[in-house]
């Protein structure tokens, strides 16, 4: 018997039918002999509807009151789920964020968890009940105001509770089967990953894989909570996200114990490329530039600085920012053009980023050769390159991105015609 | 400068426009130099919508979870109102029932207030802010669960807060101008009462006047809180409900200090009459019968026992119960027919109750004569009679009720062609 935290998103509890389906799922788990803690998001579009309502009143409501408003959504879904479980013969009790001891800082709208004291949740479990906790919300430590945690908040609530309760696993239920070796909409032959390490998942999420919020994966990794991403519409095993590669477990008979070199290919079309042309090649200029960008609250991802053309004393600096923050960055740069003394700016939203992620890269030097060969063989022109210990990312033209993702996916033997654990880079 | 508690019901905050109108109203009061605490109900049909949702999941949800569900409605309206006040240049902060210190017993769905500790509300006022409190909800003393107070809950919240904060007045905003001398839909010439005492209002409310919930009037009377019932759609003075007749104040110039004998005429079509025929006229039978009714959770209102027909040794007992509880009462009685030993039961839903209410009755013996003369002059047949110190009620046939109300209203000079304070019973 183990303690399982199950998180269900808004699409899983969008209506009474969904709530009843989730209730059945929870009761099945409970009847299998496990203790169950459930974290729910607001029903379907509830949060958006509440935001619309707020906008009708004022476009800029005080953050504290926005949190008071938005936090009501989970209270509805969790109470209904408790009723559904009760109606199906189970026994459940629901708790608001503050009742569940989710103590946060006072940053309304994007509160961070500072402490989790789930005494009431624990008592409910000990009494044999299913504890249902409102996701996405907490109570600020000093002011005792209701706070919300922003995007991915409910996933974070689930992981934080799992960590505080010492749960054996935190199951994140979603509308897909799990984490794939690439976006199946781009690569039809992509296969579901049985397991992936936290650091790999972090790189995948940070580089375009939408399935899990970065924050929840970071939290799970820090506290050593195993995540199991799976579908609320099927009983198939999903993808296990294990805190470290050593935790990867032997799943099926006959599966090699050795791990695949690469986990998957992520892609991202949400960034734009900014090239600052003719920057005086003297110390401190880069710092000046990135200071300006930071001042505009734009988040820089990749950075490339070319060597200065011989004798010109000038160089070009390229970097990528989210398209949504591009204009702010440009305005800030133009405003600082004189002081920085650069010649011109080139701005391009027609780019795409491809990232190959795999913990095995560390020990497999052949990877980059296979990677770039696959791109060149398929006529994909590489614009920028950045790497981490377990990732290679390139920026290419947006039109070529899908082709590039497919080519790399195939080159590393990730296509599902082959087993999920066959090694990539056989051509090395 | 005084402290004013203002309560706005669901119809006043049904949409963004209503919320903005209420916000203007609150700011006006604040700008007039008063401290303001606002109690709000859920928006329009929110509570009904939540109940529908719950019914889709299960017809019988656990009471604790129903309260968790229903209490979310006020959190939405109060947060939106706080935003609206902020947007209009005011400064407001909203509090849930538990944040406002509304401590109740653990009777979910019909919780009673056991303690009010509005420390946070007080701090907000002292900081010059408008404090907005969720009506209808609290937190149970021992279990710290969210509770709701049932029908009239928000009015009770407002009065309880006014009492705990020592407010000068509790304004109950509604969609009518105030309390009338009779239901204007039945008596077009009914006039708005400038003032009415708590005990008069209690009798009026208990006998069919829907405007205020009995419980809130009782609470206001017990704690000496002056109520001011008025419209949220106009700035007219409404009706003041003063804790005792002695508190009645001289409102307009030239108004006689003496109070009118009768305040108004209430009517009620929601009751049925049960007559138990041929009850053995021996001690304890009535007790048996009413024990059976109580066992069926039916609330008895009026009771009449006729003298037993000479020599028969049997008598008839009549009483009224809410139509909604009539069937339960009948079934319980039929089940007990043998043990009680009565002959038959007559059940009649085609009845109406008329009640004349006025503190002045005590000292004016002529009232009943005027009352019954008005009824007989208008061919109204009286079926049952019951009286209190300040009330006379009669049951008549439902078809005659409207006529009877008009006749009595006129006989006591309550028609608005005359002043609200002209004495009734001039014919005495």
Q: Is the dihedral of CA B119, A70, A65, B87 positive or negative?
A: negative
Q: Do A93 and B20 touch (CB under 8 A)?
A: no
* Contacts of B203 by beta carbon, 8 Å cutoff, 6+ apart: B266, B355, B357, B388, B390, B391
pLDDT number for residue A147: 97
Question: Annotated binding residue at A30?
Answer: no
Nearest to B16 among A56, A80, A82 (CB): A56
CA distance A204 to A266: 6
DSSP label at residue A245: G
Give this prediction's pTM.
0.83
Q: Is the dihedral of CA B62, B67, B72, B73 positive or negative?
A: positive
Q: What six digits make up the tokens of A310?
A: 């011989």
Q: What six digits make up the tokens of B76?
A: 């939405």
Q: Could you tell me if A131 and A125 are in contact, meaning their C-beta atoms sit under 8 angstroms apart?
A: yes
Q: Do A64 and B16 touch (CB under 8 A)?
A: no
Question: Annotated binding residue at B74?
Answer: yes
A186 touches chain B (CB under 8 A): no
CA distance A422 to A428: 14
- The fourth-level CATH superfamily of domain A270-348 is ACT domain (3.30.70.260)
pLDDT number for residue A195: 92
Q: CA–CA distance from B350 to each of B321, B327, B399 (Å)?
A: 12, 15, 8
Give the closest-approach CA distance of A324 to chain B in angstroms.
27
| Helix/strand/coil (H/E/C) assignment for every residue in A27-77 | HHHHHCCCEEEEEECCCCCHHHHHHHHHHHHCCCCCHHHHHHHHCHHHHHH
Per DSSP (E only), the strands in A141-292 are: 146-148, 169-174, 195-197, 227-231, 239-242, 264-268, 271-280
A397 touches chain B (CB under 8 A): no
CA distance A6 to A71: 20
A vs B, Cβ pairs < 8 A, gives 118
Q: Do B76 and A53 touch (CB under 8 A)?
A: yes
Q: Could you tell me if A121 and A37 are in contact, meaning their C-beta atoms sit under 8 angstroms apart?
A: yes
Overall CATH class of domain A3-252: alpha beta
Nearest C-alpha neighbor of B65 from the set B146, B144, B134, B143: B146
B63 touches chain A (CB under 8 A): no
Give the closest-approach CA distance of A259 to chain B in angstroms.
46
pLDDT number for residue A247: 58
* Contacts of A397 by beta carbon, 8 Å cutoff, 6+ apart: A350, A351, A352, A381, A383
B78 touches chain A (CB under 8 A): yes
State the ipTM, two decimals. Answer: 0.80
Tell me the per-residue pLDDT of B292-315, one tens digit each, with 9 for 90 and over. Answer: 998 888 888 888 877 766 677 888
Return the residue in B18, B58, B121 with the most chain A beta carbons within 10 A, the one to mutate for interface testing.
B58
Per-residue tens of pLDDT for chain A, all 428 residues = 799 999 999 999 999 999 999 999 999 999 999 999 999 999 999 999 999 999 999 998 999 999 999 999 999 999 999 999 999 999 999 999 999 999 999 999 999 999 999 999 999 999 999 999 999 999 999 899 999 998 889 999 999 999 999 999 999 998 888 999 999 999 999 999 999 999 999 999 888 888 888 889 999 999 999 999 999 888 999 999 998 756 555 444 444 445 678 899 999 999 999 999 999 888 888 889 999 998 888 888 888 877 766 677 888 899 999 999 999 999 999 999 999 999 999 999 999 999 999 988 887 878 888 999 999 999 999 988 988 888 999 999 999 999 999 999 999 989 986 433 333 332 22
CATH of A263-267+351-412, one of 2.40.10.340, 3.40.50.720, 3.40.50.1580, 3.30.70.260: 3.30.70.260
Q: Residue B321: count other Cβ atoms within 10 Å of its Cβ.
A: 24
Q: Do A84 and B58 touch (CB under 8 A)?
A: yes
Q: Could you tell me if B290 and B336 are in contact, meaning their C-beta atoms sit under 8 angstroms apart?
A: no
Per-residue tens of pLDDT for chain B, all 428 residues = 799 999 999 999 999 999 999 999 999 999 999 999 999 999 999 999 999 999 999 998 999 999 999 999 999 999 999 999 999 999 999 999 999 999 999 999 999 999 999 999 999 999 999 999 999 999 999 899 999 998 889 999 999 999 999 999 999 998 888 999 999 999 999 999 999 999 999 999 888 888 888 889 999 999 999 999 999 888 999 999 998 756 555 444 444 445 678 899 999 999 999 999 999 888 888 889 999 998 888 888 888 877 766 677 888 899 999 999 999 999 999 999 999 999 999 999 999 999 999 988 887 878 888 999 999 999 999 988 988 888 999 999 999 999 999 999 999 999 986 433 323 332 22
Burial B55-81 (b: 16+ CB within 10 A, else e): eebbeebbbbbbbbbbbbbbbbbbbbb
CA distance A38 to B8: 36
B71 touches chain A (CB under 8 A): yes
Q: What six digits make up the tokens of B197?
A: 């005492």
Residue in B with minimal Cα distance to A21? B57
- Fold: same for B3-252 and B263-267+351-412: no
Q: Do B93 and A64 touch (CB under 8 A)?
A: yes
B91 touches chain A (CB under 8 A): no
DSSP state letters, B97-119? TTTTTEEE-S-TTS--EEEE--H
Domain ranges for chain A, please list them: 3-252, 263-267+351-412, 270-348
Q: Do A87 and B58 touch (CB under 8 A)?
A: yes
pLDDT number for residue A245: 59
Return the C-alpha torsion angle B374, B378, B379, B381, nearest 10.
-40
Start-end of H helices in B32-144: 46-57, 63-70, 72-87, 119-126
B79 touches chain A (CB under 8 A): yes
CA distance B32 to B168: 15
Q: Which helix (H) or strand (E) holds B279?
A: strand B271-280
A66 touches chain B (CB under 8 A): yes
């Amino acid at each position: 018997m183990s303690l399982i935290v199950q998180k269900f998103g808004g699409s899983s509890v969008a209506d009474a039918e969904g709530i009843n389906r989730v209730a059945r799922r929870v009761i099945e788990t409970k009847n299998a002999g496990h203790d169950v803690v459930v974290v729910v998001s607001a029903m379907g579009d509830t949060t958006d509807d509440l935001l619309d309502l707020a906008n009708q009143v004022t476009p800029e409501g005080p953050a504290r009151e926005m949190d008071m408003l938005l936090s009501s959504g989970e209270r509805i879904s969790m109470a209904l789920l408790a009723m559904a479980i009760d109606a199906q013969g189970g026994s459940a009790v629901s708790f608001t964020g503050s009742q569940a001891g989710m103590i946060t800082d006072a940053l309304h709208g994007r509160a961070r968890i500072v402490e989790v004291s789930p005494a009431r949740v624990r008592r409910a479990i000990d009494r044999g009940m299913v504890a249902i906790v409102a996701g996405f919300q907490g109570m600020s430590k000093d002011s005792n105001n209701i706070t919300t945690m922003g995007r991915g908040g409910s996933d974070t609530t689930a992981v934080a509770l799992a960590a505080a309760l010492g749960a054996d696993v935190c199951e994140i239920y979603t509308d897909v089967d799990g984490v794939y070796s690439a976006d199946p909409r781009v690569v039809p032959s992509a296969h579901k990953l049985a397991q992936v390490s936290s650091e790999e998942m972090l790189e995948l999420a940070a580089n375009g894989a939408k399935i899990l919020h970065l924050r929840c994966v970071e939290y799970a990794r820090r506290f050593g909570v195993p995540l199991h991403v799976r579908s609320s519409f099927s009983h198939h095993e999903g993808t296990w996200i294990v805190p470290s590669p050593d935790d990867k477990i032997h799943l099926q008979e006959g599966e090699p114990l050795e791990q695949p070199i690469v986990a998957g290919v992520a892609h991202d079309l949400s960034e734009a490329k900014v090239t600052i042309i003719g920057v005086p090649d003297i110390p401190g200029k880069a710092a000046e530039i990135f200071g300006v960008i930071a001042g505009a609250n734009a988040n820089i991802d990749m950075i490339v600085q070319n060597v200065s053309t011989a004798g010109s004393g000038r160089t070009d600096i390229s970097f990528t920012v989210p398209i949504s923050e591009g204009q702010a960055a440009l305005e800030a740069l133009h405003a600082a053009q004189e002081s920085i003394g650069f010649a011109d700016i080139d701005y391009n939203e027609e780019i795409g980023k491809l990232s190959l992620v795999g913990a095995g890269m560390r020990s497999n030097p052949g990877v980059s050769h296979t990677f770039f060969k696959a791109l060149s063989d398929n006529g994909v022109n590489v614009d920028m390159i950045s790497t981490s210990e377990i990732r290679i990312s390139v920026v290419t033209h947006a039109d070529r991105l899908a082709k590039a993702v497919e080519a790399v996916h195939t080159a590393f033997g990730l296509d599902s015609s082959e087993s999920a654990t066959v090694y990539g880079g056989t051509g090395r």
